[in-house]
Structure 1
Amino acid sequence: MSLKTLLSTVLLIIVLSCDETPKSTFYTIAYTSKETGTIEIYSGNAEGKSTIKRTNQSGGYVAWSPNGKQFAFYAKYDDRKTWSIHTMNIDGTNRKRLTHAKNKWDNVPDWSPDGKKIVFARAYKDLNGIWHPEIWIMNADGSEQRQITSLRGSNPYFTPEGSIVFSQEFEDKSSAISIADIDGKNSIRLTHNNGAKEWHPDVSPDGKQIAFMSDKDGNFEIYVMDIDGSNQKRLTYNDVRDSMPSWSPDGSQLIFHSKTDENRDVYMMNKDGTEVKKIISNVGQAAWLKSIQ
């Protein structure tokens, strides 16, 4: 090979290497908005741009399937008295209603790591006015629905290993973050901030940390802790309600909601609470797809 040919080959390799595009995380955040007058699901990038409307009927609290091809969400019926879990493709097609329990609030769905099951919360008052916060599980097509009877709570979320992290509800209406096996056995309480309300746990992609919201310091803020409940750390310090954290696919950042009486905006920050910035205005219930697309 001549020197000229060798140099040309090396240059081509360098150009190709520089031009190699990393996997895009362009459409990685889904959220809800009332832009059209009803709550609809949208998706966009981490800069809050290039949004795409995904639903043509009301839908809320979106959860991505592990492969990023479907959403699970809830919608309301019977003058908002019945909430039901749905799935659909991310382009808005193949919408399916999976639960039909009348006068029950089925909400906050999450997919198992293999995409075969969906866990969700069900809440309702009985004829005596007693509140029942339940956790249910079903196949992703809606079949074989059953209550995980040993768990009393809401906001269930799968770990990468298939355990369930959830908000354990107590009779005094306080709550704590707990973890249990998928069948409800071996439940362990992770937080012990008596009297606090602690909701919406979200597990990091590597399964080592949990982000959650808590009012233990008097106002709802975002916290993070190790999967065993140790090393709890407060990340936000605001005089408004901060809620519903969601991890980035690489586990380096979190998005969360910051709500005032007038606005509900989505912010992004590093996992240590630094570099906080607003990315989307006047939207809600944002969730980050947990895999690189």
Structure 2
Amino acid sequence: MSSKKISGIKCLLFSICFLSVTTGCQTNEKVTSQPFSIIYGFKEGDNKSIYLSDEQGKKRIKIIDVPNNAGGYPAVSPTGKQIAFYGKYDKRKTWSIHTADIDGTNMRRLTNLKNAWDYGPAFSSDGKTIVFGREYTDKNGDMQEGIWLMNSDGTEQHQIKGLEGGAPEYMPDGRLLFHSKGRFSKTAAAQISIANIDGSNVIQLTNDDTDNFNPKISPDGTQIAYLSNRDGNQEVYVMNVDGSNQTRLTRNRIRDGDPAWSPDGSKVFFTSQNVFGIYDIYKVDKDGSSTERVLINASQTATVYHVDKHYLERLAHARQQ
């Protein structure tokens, strides 16, 4: 291994240890090809930023501050070189999708429709397209929910016709996982569904009179984590990809949110509000056992499968300056 590469890894280790929010950093831990498991939003005072963290919450590193200190819900591209997230403008009335390099450089605003809420971007498996949700109030004062698609550079933005709902993401087979319109309706409830990328062949997986939403597909494509309030409180559930074996994972008195799988598919990360009104990130085994808090004052979790090591070393070096 060259001395230049060793120097870069040492720089990364130093930066991670320095930025850790927990007590200390174990110097005998080896740096693997995947030092981070999740990406999330972190709020400190009036400042809102996006961070990477390992599964234990012991190592974390800041990527970027979001525009106007409002926004988040980040995602990492399959190449590990880019992130996508949303920021807020016009006194938080306009939400826009952005991309940036994983080292925090080259931030670009991709959508800018005034008074629309664009959120929850997700990359395709080849990283060439981004799917996202868009919400807006129509001229009658009713909330509309649509699913939109664009190239990862922001070109060719278009709504996927026939799909009303939100929180879309790609499945391993190229189809879309999303929740149907209903979260803002007095007469219908949101349900978890799957559809082709062109909006055809919609398959509904849940069917009850309560909201089921924000679905996330497991790394192997066999299970779905999602949120539901069917038991009187917003909790995290999992089910098989065909809708069978719907199982409740969390049992809290306050609302849980933001489910995300661990990269190996054995656990589900989620956000829960504590008694001080602050959101923390937890993880739970996918059978509902062994719940553990990972990070404090953090939310909007998403899974990280790969981070480009070259960009990561640049990021660590920049944080030392």
User: Identity, % of aligned pairs?
Assistant: 48
Q: Answer yes or no: is 1:52 the counterpart of 2:61.
A: yes
Residue of structure 2 equivalent to 1:248:
262
Answer yes or no: is the 8 Å Cα contact 2:179–2:212 preserved in 1. Answer: yes
Tell me the distance in 2 between the aligned counterparts of 1:290 and 1:108: 17
| Match 1:130 to one of 139, 142, 145 | 142
Answer yes or no: is the 8 Å Cα contact 2:175–2:194 preserved in 1. Answer: yes
The equivalences for 1:1-293 within 5 A come to: 23-35=32-44, 37-58=46-67, 59-170=71-182, 171=185, 172-194=187-209, 196-260=210-274, 262-291=277-306
Structure with greater helix share of residues:
2
Pick 1 or 2: higher relative contact order, CA cutoff 8 A, min separation 6.
2
Q: What letter is aligned with 2:145?
A: P
Tell me the distance in 2 between the aligned counterparts of 1:241 and 1:25: 31
Once the 2 structures are TM-superposed, how far is the Cα of residue 45 of structure 1 from its aligned partner?
Answer: 1.2
TM-score norm. by structure 1 comes to 0.89
Tell me the distance in 1 between the aligned counterparts of 2:188 and 2:152: 31
Once the 2 structures are TM-superposed, how far is the Cα of residue 36 of structure 1 from its aligned partner?
Answer: 5.1
Q: What letter is aligned with 1:187?
A: V
Answer yes or no: is the 8 Å Cα contact 2:47–2:65 preserved in 1. Answer: no
Tell me the distance in 1 between the aligned counterparts of 2:105 and 2:238: 36
Tell me the distance in 2 between the aligned counterparts of 1:53 and 1:290: 17
Q: What letter is aligned with 1:50?
A: K
Tell me the distance in 2 between the aligned counterparts of 1:173 and 1:94: 41
Tell me the distance in 2 between the aligned counterparts of 1:245 and 1:255: 6
Once the 2 structures are TM-superposed, how far is the Cα of residue 38 of structure 1 from its aligned partner?
Answer: 2.3
Q: What letter is aligned with 1:153?
A: G
Q: What letter is aligned with 1:113?
A: S
**Unaligned stretches of 5+ in structure 1?**
1-20
Once the 2 structures are TM-superposed, how far is the Cα of residue 282 of structure 1 from its aligned partner?
Answer: 1.1
Answer yes or no: is the 8 Å Cα contact 1:75–1:84 preserved in 2. Answer: yes
**Unaligned stretches of 5+ in structure 2?**
1-29, 309-321
TM-score norm. by structure 2 comes to 0.81
Q: What letter is aligned with 1:26?
A: P
Structure of higher CA gyration radius:
1
Once the 2 structures are TM-superposed, how far is the Cα of residue 25 of structure 1 from its aligned partner?
Answer: 3.1
Partner SS state of residue 161, structure 2? strand
Q: 1:221 to 1:56 in 2, by over 3 A?
A: closer
CA offsets per residue over residues 157-193 of structure 1, 9 Å max, x none? Answer: 1101111010101342520100000110000110012
Aligned-residue CA RMSD (Å):
1.8
User: Size of the alignment, in residue pairs?
Assistant: 273
CA offsets per residue over residues 173-215 of structure 1, 9 Å max, x none? Answer: 5201000001100001100122x11121000011111000100
Tell me the distance in 1 between the aligned counterparts of 2:215 and 2:89: 27
Answer yes or no: is the 8 Å Cα contact 1:113–1:161 preserved in 2. Answer: no
Answer yes or no: is the 8 Å Cα contact 2:79–2:307 preserved in 1. Answer: no
Partner SS state of residue 175, structure 1? coil
